Chain A
């Protein structure tokens, strides 16, 4: 294997990064951009491995393996559960970046959500990026170049990832995760080439069922009442899914915190401990909220793909359907509406995604969306 194996369908990026690791065009600050699921953090980790490995990324040595798994002492990965990366999140990273690498060849700091830097934290970071110590590399990841402050962008070398092909993603699932061919092809197509989502769809039957239920809503819901109930169902599914995804981790974190404070098994917690626990719970709540919004965004992306299929049929475009397994529903929706209506519905989905990302009550945004997706009965 090579360290670049998991970065599918990105030959240009692989070439740029591996050349840089061997000294050709190396610089101290990088900006890796690409749509969700295209492999931004995968690219950053592979690049970190190439930088630490004596053979520029053999894929076998201790440096390579720890850098890829996130356990390398000189590679720091930062992701936030907050809406913003705040100044207090960034300050310790800047201090860390001043230190020489402990054992490796480089000190690598990866910020996975550079789009969440605000003006204050961004400007703090800017100073650190401008004059880094000789063995420090900053790797910033964001969906697009426009998502980071222009002053930061102009000091980074930019590597753009693109949406990998469905075939490349399917091939990765077969090779890396042992997914069966047909399932891999379905998952890659249905996920819109999002590697993480594709893996989940391929390996989790619950995720497939939930996706199908979501896609069935537009064809089955009638009237405003039905739309409001369907919106409630969508929101609840998202809540349950995010709860399931965070529950175990929450309980473990609480146990670890109590153990660290010497309060394991205490019936009533002393005030100091209680305030720490409360702080942890606040963070967990925030994480759950973000997870719920992420799940909802996924559902909305799925709905968007459904109406894109409807439009393909209405326009007779002859392109392969993303949701081939829903062909009957797609045909029916296509017959019942005009292309203009379909475009209006796609706009409504985009608006709901925007609203949910902007912290609007998700249920309300979904209700307005479902009302627009489902025909009003008269």
Chain B
């Protein structure tokens, strides 16, 4: 579907936007627009908003190409290059981060672009706040940018909502008590809260329950041991074929009191994900992931990790993990040896 560049509408201040005045959009309602402004110190919220806008734009246009620009290091003309229509006619989304440190070249290019933005292109601009770059912000505002404030969350209700949203993003759920307990402990740092939610959602996979949600007991366990974190690190190195690193991580984890059982469970979750994506075929993760019982990000990650894995390798890995699980639960005399053997067997099952 090649679209000749001439058919692209240039918008004027009289169409679409109300006389060039800025509009403020609440966090939960961010949507693609020619100019999307994310201003404020809470980086996690800005990242989520950016991801949401990107996902919405991609849902509307599967051919969308996404460009990224870091403001520091900007070279004159880059924006014009990126915003020129692509050869195959797909839409364009440009993410510009670090506006608070925008060099003069970027200020000038953006000012020029904002005077006459392309309707079909979505430019997301991230400004972490502060006095620097204020003039540029005002220019963008008067060009009709939709602005969303990314302030630290003060109210507990907002933090609870944020945590619930984090679980949803990972394809999981958490009980109200679990959310409460997480917010009580980590509510002062959204980045940590987000990381905890993701790890708990990953851990949920280990429970093998399809409908289960994260309960307060699991949150307490996580605070107590954080074993899943270590388990997943070991598993990551193992399926990447890095036997030495996996083994040293494992020994460190066991030496610092981790239990072999959740390490095996983490390894099992990894191998399971690889096996599943190996039959998924081509297509977009958003469409394929749900039918495999996975979140899109899990799917994408497993697909990346699948390189180097053959059918035989995967079969050997599945058998090795099941054997280790039986051994750490009592069938073997030496649970530590059982996990070590599983880690080595799985790592070597991958073709380097």
Q: Which A residues fall within an 8 A CB radius of B? A: 223-229, 232, 235-236, 239, 355, 358-365, 367-368, 371-372, 376-378
Contact = CB atoms under 8 A, between A and B. Distances in A.
26 contacts: A223-B311, A224-B275, A224-B278, A224-B315, A224-B318, A225-B314, A228-B272, A228-B276, A228-B318, A355-B326, A355-B331, A358-B331, A359-B329, A360-B329, A360-B331, A361-B268, A361-B325, A364-B322, A365-B322, A365-B325, A367-B268, A367-B275, A367-B318, A371-B315, A372-B319, A376-B311
Chain B at the A interface: mostly helix, strand, loop or mixed?
helix
B312 A223 contact: no
A359 B279 CA distance: 29
Contact of A362 (B208, B312, B321): B208
Contact of A363 (B208, B314, B326): B208
B337 to A, nearest CB: 17
Interface of B: 208-210, 265, 268, 272, 275-280, 292-293, 311-312, 314-315, 318-319, 321-323, 325-326, 329-331
Nearest to A378: B311
B309 to A, nearest CB: 9
Contacts of B323: 368
Contacts of A239: 209-210
Contact of A377 (B272, B311, B330): B311
Given A368-B318, A371-B318, A361 B208 contact: yes
A358 B326 contact: yes
Nearest to A235: B208
Contact of B292 (A229, A358, A371, A376): A229
Contact of A361 (B265, B278, B319): B265
Contacts of A236: 210
A367 B329 contact: no
B210 A358 contact: no
Contact of B293 (A227, A232, A371): A232
B322 A367 contact: yes
Given A363-B208, A364-B268, A368-B323, 17 more contacts: A223-B311, A224-B311, A225-B279, A229-B292, A232-B293, A235-B208, A236-B210, A355-B325, A359-B329, A361-B325, A364-B321, A364-B325, A367-B268, A367-B275, A372-B319, A376-B311, A378-B312
A273 to B, nearest CB: 17
Nearest to A372: B319
A15 B133 CA distance: 98
B82 to A, nearest CB: 38
A226 B279 contact: yes
A368 B272 CA distance: 11
A358 B329 CA distance: 8
Given A232-B293, A355-B326, A361-B265, A225 B319 contact: no
Nearest to B268: A364
B278 A368 contact: no
Contacts of B279: 223, 225-226, 229
Nearest to B293: A232
A378 B280 CA distance: 16
Contacts of A365: 322, 325-326
